[in-house]
Structure 1
Amino acid sequence: MGKKKDKDVDAEDHGKGPRSPKLCGTNYPVSIAFIVVNEFCERFSYYGMKAVLTLYFIHYLHWDKNLSTAVYHAFSSLCYFTPLLGAVIADSWLGKFKTVIYLSIVYVIGHVVKSVGAIPDVGDSTLHVVLSVLGLVLIAFGTGGIKPCVAAFGGDQFDEEHTEERRKFFSIFYMSINAGSVLSTIVTPILRGDVKCFGGDCYALAFGVPAVLMVIALVVFIAGSGLYKKSPPEGNVLVRVSKCVGFAIRNRWKNSKKNPKRGHWLDWAEEKYPKRLIQEIKMMFRVLVLYIPLPMFWALFDQQGSRWTLQATRMNMDFGGGFLVKPDQMQMLNALLILVFIPIFDMGVYPLVGLCRIKLTPLRKMAAGMILAALAFCAATVVEINVIKTVVEPPPAKESLVQVYNLMDSEVTVQFPGHTVLSDPIKSHEDPSGYTSLPLTGESQLYTVTVTHSGTDYQCGLTFTEQTAYSLFLHTAQPGGTVCKLVKDHITKSETGAAYLRFINTHTENINITVGTDEFYAAANYGISQNISVPRGEYNGVVCETNSVQYHIDLGLLDFGAFYTVILSKESNGLIVKKMEDIQANNIHIAWQVPQYFFITAGEVMFSITGLEFSYSQAPASMKSVLQAGWLMTVAFGNVIVLIVAEGAGMEQWTEFLLFAGLLVAVSIIFSIMAYFYTYVDPDELDKIFREDTDDEKMESSDSKKNEAVSLTDMPKQTNM
């Protein structure tokens, strides 16, 4: 019994392990079920948290769009730098199993810290920022650290002869990733927006549920511990490669003048490292050179969670029948479409292209994927140009915006000295004149405005401040007099799709108005309420109370992103309501984002999946993990590009989209030229050559020993003198 136990332990320590129970008589180990469930929960956790992250930065931490985009992509970049650390820890010290366990604990702590940071009652705003950033850093180390371990650990569970089952496992594994992504990007935005806590959107719950899913992922993974094959650390090939490259560079630097030139700079490592390792590194570098242009694809791809989500907030999200899509839910289209596109491309598109006698090599597929991603951003540009038509741009320095409301009984004209900004007559009780730019001589300026009404001129002294929008209300509070009332306006559209609303009370009594859960107060005789955002929806039977009576009024639809001014007038039969739309509602439907998601996902199928396949097919077996790390680094650097552009470019959004599309087209041309000169290799042939070289070296060594033995035998014997 003791020997049997020792034998099993010894086998397990060498990565072979006792044979794991199989699923239902198949060759699939039971242990992979725990790994697949773990991956589903972990991906739900990651993508669910990430789906609401940009809106969290803007609405909870109150960062601007550019800073929110920059931090979002900095976090994404860190998530793809840390896999290098996870690979080194797993291969050099802990092994894959323990690395997943320990870094998953870090992952869970990060989620908990992030969730606590989203609770409004916890400390001041600085503490919220600190907890949020700390949580994101811990999550990045957790998700990035386990990324290179979980899939490889799943592959380790199969016996060597079950290659087909292992291949199908990776397909199931990939499906679990996308299933977790689809579900989480639907659920967490609902938790954020539809569940209210602490008086607003419930970000604490939207982050808390992914934290629970990560705890479940960790528990499930640990539960399968007794069934796993656990390979011990075997030494990190990345470390060996780094040492070999470093030695070659140092040796060349020291001895290049003394020794003759060598065929390749890596050949300077031959004094210390085997030829096979050097040749494999050369093959790896040939692929890594092709990776140089690839970050630009990821710079576009990862903007789905930042710029595209922000674009969606300024669109009409109503699909009718009470079905509203949240802006951060649109990201689920990518994961959903990829599940559909993979079989379509494999069984439909690629065979049809082959029938046209067009040879689709992996590198050609990747170049085509880049073009599709560029088309996605062209589509996003067209959508953005139409979206901004409903947006009022803030005035620049030394300018203000002004619009005029004529609440008098006949038309008026308004003149600003030295300017013809409002030259046409303004009719009574019509919609406002629309915002007009008013130049200023400095940070602020006093204007003496002339108002002409019924042939009489009235003058008003009004002070305007730069970079501010105003409404100028003209009314007769007292018989025979004209009153000019200047009010600052809120022109920034709501990023949540809410509508802004204010009331003007022409009644002789004060009025309190209740709209949903919000309360407005408008003083008598042309008092103006505060601006308050209200959720988009139909508002009928709104209660208006004066000191003497209660009224019910209908406001109708308060639409996405609009700004309304409602004028309340008293007549014998009640209150008369006039609703004016100061800022146009979002009139571009969110369905117009579907084409850009269609193109970006098709590009992902051709670029990402093919790129992984190419990397593995062109790499020697010992270098596959290094190339995997290199591939993940292209994603990290892609996010760095977005970070730089978001913070440094300072251009309009549609221009930025067009810039990214143009850059990717240029990069795809460069990549195509590089691909044209690339020669595909067969690693199996390389192994054969290495085996032959090794056999030849052994024969030469054997022959030299024989010759040495013969020469020693033939030597004349010395005699003692």
Structure 2
Amino acid sequence: MTKKLCGTNYPISICFIVVNEFCERFSYYGMKALLTLYFLNYLHWDKDLSTAVYHAFSSLCYFTPILGALIADSWLGKFKTIIYLSIVYVIGHVVKSVGAIPTVGNNDVHIALSLLGLILIALGTGGIKPCVAAFGGDQFDEEHVSERQKFFSIFYMSINAGSLLSTVITPILRGDVQCFGGDCYALAFGVPAALMIVALVVFIAGSGMYKRNPPQGNILLEVCNCIGFAIKNRWRSLKSDPQRNHWLDWAEEKYSKRLIQEIKMVLRVLVLYIPLPMFWALFDQQGSRWTLQATRMNMAFGDAFSIKPDQMQMLNALLILVFVPIFDLVIYPLVRLCRINVTPLRKMATGMVFAALAFGAATLVEVNVVKTVVDPPPAGNCLLQVFNLANGSISVKIPDSDLFPEPIQYLEDPPEYKTLLLGTSSKDLMMQVTFEGTAYECEQMFEQEKAYSLILYSSTTGIKCKLVEDFIKKNENGNPLLRFLSTETEAIDLTVGAVTFQVPANYNVSANRTVERGEYPDVSCHSESKECGPLNLGLLDFGASYTVILTGEGLSNIVPHKMEDVKANNVHIAWQIPQYVLITAGEVMFSITGLEFSYAQAPANMKSVLQAGWLLTVAFGNVIVLIVAEGAGLEQWKEFLLFAGLLLGVFFIFSIMAYFYTYVDPDQLDKFYLEGSGKEESDDDNTKKKSNDINLKKTEKSTRL
């Protein structure tokens, strides 16, 4: 006898399943939120490769549920499948965490461990995806339909709670905890691994209370076999047999008319799925391209707090919890009051429009974001800026160039980099530097596609020059970059926050280091002989690159002069909120409505076939992004615009398909499917089928399952 919660019809076993799902979703979304920045900053991949691998992983996570369903329904059953694949899941998380420890091997080892971990995680999360929710539904007796409905609402809330909390917490663990001299990816991946271990332990702890149904055979496999037999039989009988009304009728020699009729109906719905991957191609870029966009934005909310670029993904989980009741209780009823027929397919088409608008908003944001980015020099050119450290104005003349027509003032912050034409891979230039009426020669070697700072300073013999290479690429995690140049004759050590700089003497430049965004009014400063601080660097802002020139008469009077080599991000992260609002509104109308429509238009025992088809649309949507990211080579705003345009094109195609689609009344489905079978169902069978309809409809309330 199943144990119940006190005074209710709820089995105690569902508590273990809900906690398991919360921990599993925390582990999955917490790990996934970090992936793009991990690829960029830890594995040092470029943006396109990082995006491609991110979406390849996402795609694999939606291909593997078919494997999990086959194992559960045809071999092990749901309980054992969840146990065994959760163990694979845990191993994947552990391998992924170990791969993020810098002391474990070289970069090739980290890449190998990371990819292996992701493959195992994809097998685990995808494999248990079709099992956990259905296993929870199995715990209820058939007569407790209302309790089962409430269970799936709680189950759905646990999914979104896990997603929301993880996308807030794991970026904090990554960025605010320092380990091995940088962002602590090992800890940030380790916590989701620990949560997955908790999920497995909790699920096993309830094993003595579960109701377990034995494997009943996989309907998806039977459908595939039936279709395959029909095609093969049709091909063999191409000339000898007369034509039949439908190509699936060629399977009648082996399969029942009922099954064939059911497959026909399912195929009508699956045809409507063909355009759907384009929606997911846009939707799943929240964790890749939109996160990369956030790294180039200002993430400070005044002096109160700042957020991490990978934390913005929590908006989707938060907004969907708000939007679902608003749409169901307010928006849809208001639309109906206006006498507009709100059909499921119209809702889905409108969701596509909202997703396209979200990418239109992302395009506008991106156009303004790139204004602070320094474009790399094209082939045959380099970038150049000048720091004048001589106590007076200086004129710089470069052969066959007029880059600096005006004199450069003492300690002037260069307004922007100038593009210097070289014409060859490298070029030795003799520049003329004029100071107080005296001309000096300055010879330096420049290489194409690089950025340089030319440092001019006084010496006992006149004006000297020194060329240093600059790093103009914005930091991928959004934090500022900082370096120091000292005019002193003694080396200096500086500590900025938790980062130490060793500044060489005599107009040499320290290494570029990443520091946390913030105010730095009292930077410690000392040399081997004495203290020279504290120094006030002021605000070091998101996305900027600074050169701080240290001048003075002796270490006791050092003054910092902050130069902004790359401009700080001046577009606030709040401008991403509209695109998240639009994409989430699109998700509510597209995803939830699409699943409800699909299940209402198919027989109860074909729900799993449609679930597999739906998950495959998500998988193929990620494949689209993978192809575009690696193959298109477009500027980011153009890529966003391309995706918006493609989805609008798909919207028109889908709308035409929807116009010609004939809805089937769910109450008449059983009669429709039984035509030609010569068999009537009993009242008990009908009751059970309706119960299964409710069960399966609730289990797939959101793609977060």
Q: TM-score, normalised by structure 1?
A: 0.91
Aligned to 1:102: 84
Aligned to 2:482: 501
Taking the aligned partners of 2:473 and 2:229, their CA distance within structure 1 comes to 59
Taking the aligned partners of 1:104 and 1:323, their CA distance within structure 2 comes to 37
Structure 1 pair 232–696 and aligned structure 2 pair: CA distance change class (3 A): closer
The superposition leaves residues 340-383 of structure 1 with CA deviations (integer Å, 9 ceiling, x where unpaired) of 10000000000011011111111110011111111111111111
Q: Which deviates further from its counterpart, 29-38 or 74-83?
A: 29-38
- Do structure 1's residue 134 and structure 2's residue 130 form an aligned pair? no
Taking the aligned partners of 1:22 and 1:524, their CA distance within structure 2 comes to 76
Q: Which deviates further from its counterpart, 65-74 or 77-86?
A: 65-74
C-alpha deviation, 1:421, in angstroms = 2.2
Aligned to 2:355: 373
Aligned to 1:39: 21
Aligned to 1:596: 579
The superposition leaves residues 73-119 of structure 1 with CA deviations (integer Å, 9 ceiling, x where unpaired) of 11110000000000111111111111111111111111111111111
- Do structure 1's residue 484 and structure 2's residue 465 form an aligned pair? yes
- Is the Cα contact below 8 Å between 2:258 and 2:677 reproduced in 1? no
Indicate which of 647, 651, 655 corresponds to 1:668: 651
Aligned to 2:568: 585
C-alpha deviation, 1:127, in angstroms = 1.6
C-alpha deviation, 1:332, in angstroms = 0.7
Taking the aligned partners of 2:99 and 2:679, their CA distance within structure 1 comes to 65
C-alpha deviation, 1:409, in angstroms = 2.9
> Is the partner of 2:485 in helix, strand or coil?
strand
- Is the Cα contact below 8 Å between 2:431 and 2:443 reproduced in 1? yes
Instruction: Please list, as runs of the form range in 1=range in 2, the aligned pairs for 1:430-449 lying within 5 A after superposition.
Output: 430-449=412-431
- Do structure 1's residue 423 and structure 2's residue 405 form an aligned pair? yes
Structure 1 pair 406–692 and aligned structure 2 pair: CA distance change class (3 A): closer
- Do structure 1's residue 538 and structure 2's residue 519 form an aligned pair? yes
Aligned to 2:625: 642
Structure 1 pair 77–616 and aligned structure 2 pair: CA distance change class (3 A): same
Taking the aligned partners of 2:595 and 2:357, their CA distance within structure 1 comes to 22
Indicate which of 663, 673, 681 corresponds to 1:680: 663
Aligned to 1:143: 125
Q: Tell me the amino acid that sits aligned with residue 686 of structure 1.
A: L
C-alpha deviation, 1:453, in angstroms = 2.7
Taking the aligned partners of 2:651 and 2:541, their CA distance within structure 1 comes to 42
Structure 1 pair 241–123 and aligned structure 2 pair: CA distance change class (3 A): same
Structure 1 pair 509–198 and aligned structure 2 pair: CA distance change class (3 A): closer
Structure 1 pair 525–292 and aligned structure 2 pair: CA distance change class (3 A): same
Indicate which of 408, 413, 435 corresponds to 2:390: 408
Taking the aligned partners of 1:134 and 1:526, their CA distance within structure 2 comes to 47
RCO comparison, higher one (Cα < 8 Å, 6+): 2
The superposition leaves residues 370-418 of structure 1 with CA deviations (integer Å, 9 ceiling, x where unpaired) of 1111111111111111111111111122110001122223322222222
C-alpha deviation, 1:181, in angstroms = 0.3
Structure 1 pair 426–252 and aligned structure 2 pair: CA distance change class (3 A): same
Instruction: Please list, as runs of the form range in 1=range in 2, the aligned pairs for 1:232-251 lying within 5 A after superposition.
Output: 232-251=214-233
Instruction: Please list, as runs of the form range in 1=range in 2, the aligned pairs for 1:706-721 lying within 5 A after superposition.
Output: none
Q: Who wins on radius of gyration, i.e. which is larger?
A: 1
Taking the aligned partners of 1:301 and 1:227, their CA distance within structure 2 comes to 39
Identity rate of aligned residues, in percent?
70
Note the residue ranges of structure 2 that are not aligned, 5 or more in a row: 682-705
- Do structure 1's residue 345 and structure 2's residue 327 form an aligned pair? yes
Q: Tell me the amino acid that sits aligned with residue 487 of structure 1.
A: V
Taking the aligned partners of 1:174 and 1:542, their CA distance within structure 2 comes to 49
Aligned to 1:53: 35
- Do structure 1's residue 174 and structure 2's residue 143 form an aligned pair? no
Note the residue ranges of structure 1 that are not aligned, 5 or more in a row: 1-17, 699-721
Aligned to 1:658: 641
Aligned to 1:218: 200
- Is the Cα contact below 8 Å between 1:477 and 1:525 reproduced in 2? no
C-alpha deviation, 1:196, in angstroms = 1.7
> Is the partner of 2:657 in helix, strand or coil?
helix
C-alpha deviation, 1:656, in angstroms = 0.9
Taking the aligned partners of 2:592 and 2:116, their CA distance within structure 1 comes to 33
Q: Tell me the amino acid that sits aligned with residue 107 of structure 1.
A: Y
Indicate which of 289, 302, 317 corresponds to 1:335: 317
Aligned to 1:717: none
Aligned to 1:288: 270
The superposition leaves residues 280-300 of structure 1 with CA deviations (integer Å, 9 ceiling, x where unpaired) of 111111111100111111111
C-alpha deviation, 1:59, in angstroms = 1.4
> Is the partner of 2:377 in helix, strand or coil?
coil
C-alpha deviation, 1:508, in angstroms = 4.2
Q: Tell me the amino acid that sits aligned with residue 520 of structure 2.
A: Y
C-alpha deviation, 1:433, in angstroms = 4.6
The superposition leaves residues 634-668 of structure 1 with CA deviations (integer Å, 9 ceiling, x where unpaired) of 00001111111111111111111111111111111
> Is the partner of 2:630 in helix, strand or coil?
helix
- Is the Cα contact below 8 Å between 2:77 and 2:213 reproduced in 1? yes
Taking the aligned partners of 1:507 and 1:114, their CA distance within structure 2 comes to 46
